[in-house]
Amino acid sequence: MAHLRIAVAQLGARMHYALPRCMEEAGCLGIFYTDTYAGPIAQKFSRAIGTEHLPEAMRRFLGRVPHGVPGNKIHAFTKFGMEYRLRAKWGRTPSQRTATHIWAGQRFCRLVNQTGLPESSAVYALNSAALELFAVANQTKRFAILEQTSAPRRIERELVQREHRAWPGWESSSDDDHSEEFAAREEEEWRRADLVVCGSEFVKSSYKGLGGDPEKCKVVPYGVDRYADKVERPKSCKLRVLFVGTVNLHKGVQYLLAAASKLPPTEFEFRIVGPIRLSQTAVSGAPKHVQFVGSVPRTEVAQHYRWADVFVFPSVCEGSATVCYEALAYGLPVITTPNAGSVVRDGLEGYVVPVSEYQPIEAKLNELQRSPEKREQFSAEARNRASEFTVASFRRRLISTLGIETPELCTTVN
């Protein structure tokens, strides 16, 4: 097999830069293109002064460190990245946010193409930020690998619109003038890709249902870095329930709040961590034993996992939610839905409950509150399951998949 040299193009710090890290460890990384990251000077600065007193935006930036990727293999478009963050910050409506994503994807691809993609025989990019890059890859005979990180936009739009109809007034309008353009962009990326990688069967079935070629779509579950084998949690007579993610109808937080309203504050405590997109009316109407923490940097989420007894993520549409992998790695029983695309197995590491229903969440939380033994059993199984889905195992699965699909390009499969 010939040696594979992959140019990885990724906006943001998705999965703590697991993708370029894995490619480097496998000896396949040619170059890593991104927007902004904390380079050696910024890292030295943060170590010297500490970050606890810095503004959240600065702490968030200083957490964007692609550990294990040599600096001479990182090509960052910093000016573009700063403009992207500003546009994203001021995008208030679905239309504005989608327009920003489309602009960023197009601009990023063009910036990458201008480099000439040196020393690369393949290009790996993520959905909505791959189209123009793949057009050049097709012309220059480079192998084009697309990661479909979430369910396709058409599926997501249908599911989220259903939630808006079911929960009027909980969130601003879901009307999106650019949604069709975004969906068409994704689908053209599928056509131009030689291989489509996704994190779950939920994404693959959604892709297939919209006419995607199932023969070139492969499921590769993700992975996260291992954490402590045993987390010592503070004692409490209450069951501490955690949600991490964007607080909106898309992530299904409405069903967790509905379940919380049926559960007594003498026995349950809820913590919701993430940027809040619900209306003030919805937030103010939440049960009193629900704490909204708001947005926190990635580096500070760990303290919330260590606080919790149970993790609940009732999403209506995902790819393969990283937060579920993280919760397992912290030994948390997980209650989630099939649409979260998680690796949680019903009755082993937690429960997989029907999407868009709160009663099963209420019932399972009651069950876990009354059975510390079951929580311990699930916690042990969660840690075991997490050991199968580390960044190292993600690398092995991904490189194996690339080797199977492009045997003429890869010398070694780890």
Structural domain count, the chain: 2
For helices 94-114 and 78-90, angle between their N-to-C axes, nearest 10 degrees: 170
CATH number at residue 10: 3.40.50.2000
Range of the domain at 381: 239-387
| Residue-wise pLDDT tens digits, 6-15 | 999 999 988 8
| Residue-wise pLDDT tens digits, 53-100 | 566 666 666 667 788 899 999 999 999 999 999 998 888 888 999 999
Same domain? For 299 and 159 the reply is no
Same domain? For 74 and 168 the reply is yes
Cα 93 to the center of its chain, rounded Å: 21
Same domain? For 374 and 397 the reply is no
Same domain? For 383 and 399 the reply is no
Three-class DSSP category at 114: helix
Same domain? For 217 and 248 the reply is no
**Residue 268 located in a structural domain:** yes
CA-based end-to-end distance of the chain: 14
Lowest-confidence segment of 56-70, 234-248, 387-401 by average pLDDT: 56-70
Same domain? For 277 and 149 the reply is no
**Residue 233 located in a structural domain:** no
Same domain? For 128 and 270 the reply is no
Tokens read off for 37: 């990251």
The owner of tokens 């209506």 is 316
pLDDT of 43 reads 54
Q: Please, are residues 287 and 47 in contact by the beta-carbon 8 Å criterion?
A: no
- What is the rounded distance in angstroms from the CA atom of residue 176 to the CA atom of residue 19? 30
| Residue-wise pLDDT tens digits, 197-212 | 999 999 999 999 999 9
Same domain? For 375 and 400 the reply is no
Same domain? For 21 and 66 the reply is yes
pLDDT of 299 higher than 90? no
Same domain? For 184 and 57 the reply is yes
Same domain? For 88 and 210 the reply is yes
pLDDT of 413 reads 35
| Residue-wise pLDDT tens digits, 343-386 | 999 999 999 999 999 999 999 999 999 999 999 999 999 999 99
Burial environment of residue 167 by CB neighbours within 10 A (0 to 12, 13 to 18, 19 or more) = middle
The rounded mean pLDDT for the chain is 90
Which stretch of DSSP H or E encloses residue 334? Answer: strand 334-336
Same domain? For 280 and 373 the reply is yes
**Residue 414 located in a structural domain:** no
Output the CA angle 36-39-41, nearest 5 degrees: 135
Query: Is pTM beyond 0.85 here?
Result: yes
